[in-house]
Homo-oligomer: A and B are copies of this chain.
Amino acid sequence: MFILTDLVNGITIELTDMVNGLGILRAKGAFRMFAKFLRLDSEKQDRIVNAVMKEFAQKGYERASTNEMVKEAGISKGLLFHYFQNKKQLYLFLVDYCYDMVVAEFYKKIDLTEPDFFKRIREAVHIKMEMLTQYPDIFKFMEEAFLEDAAEIKPELEKKKREMTDINMGKFFEGIDYSKFRADVDLKIVLKIITFTFEKMSEEVLYKAKFAPGHEINYAEIRQEAEQYFDVLIKCFYH
């Protein structure tokens, strides 16, 4: 579903499987190779995750230095590799780790019983903004991760994205009352246009925030801007 994905890369994804609270990859056992790390007390886990995330987010995959990470995390060089084997695995682990965290959080909050399409989207936009404020580092990292195209991790990263972006709009839109949409145009195309609109809007918001002094986001303004889009879309696509 678009709301989460456009937090990070603007690709619509299917979140249904995650609703139960298990991450896709965790459920698939991909975390087994990081068992050593996951057995640590959460204070240390957090210290490491934050240090690593900070470095990757700041410098990207290639330039990020494992030396800096261990210095920041206060652990030895060997230990990082003891947990994560190599830089690539460390990176891919972190992508999953963050993704799972974000998805689980989102689904705790969204109300999936709301049948009106635009109301549901409106709520999702608000949840998204809340989370952006609460976990800015994670979103920064995720955003970079989905743009990352370092040769070494590209294939695995693309595969991971594909796993996470297995589009299934049918499921996402379950419970939505489609009778409100006008009948003279292709509904699938209409839904895509709406999705695209909010994704691009989000991108613009993030993009502008980057260049704003202090990178602060004016949420009130975004909501107002979103309402403008809601107004047009409802008028044009509902009958």
Contact = CB atoms under 8 A, between A and B. Distances in A.
Interface residues of A, number: 41
A228 B189 contact: yes
A197 interface: yes
Interface in A199-226: 199-201, 203, 207, 210-211
A38 interface: no
B210 A158 contact: yes
A58 B149 contact: no
A123 interface: no
Contact of A185 (B11, B196, B236): B236
A204 B35 CA distance: 36
A4 to B, nearest CB: 17
B184 A235 contact: yes
B193 A233 contact: yes
B60 A229 contact: no
Contacts of A62: 60, 62-63, 150
Contact of A189 (B148, B210, B229, B237): B229
A63 B228 contact: no
Interface in A21-61: 58-60
Contact of A236 (B199, B201, B236): B236
A50 B201 CA distance: 36
Contact of A196 (B59, B196, B210, B235): B196
A194 to B, nearest CB: 9
Interface string A149-167: 1111000001000100000
A17 interface: no
A186 B152 CA distance: 46
Contact of A60 (B149, B192, B237): B149
A110 interface: no
A231 interface: yes
A63 B150 contact: yes
A9 to B, nearest CB: 10
A143 to B, nearest CB: 9
A100 interface: no
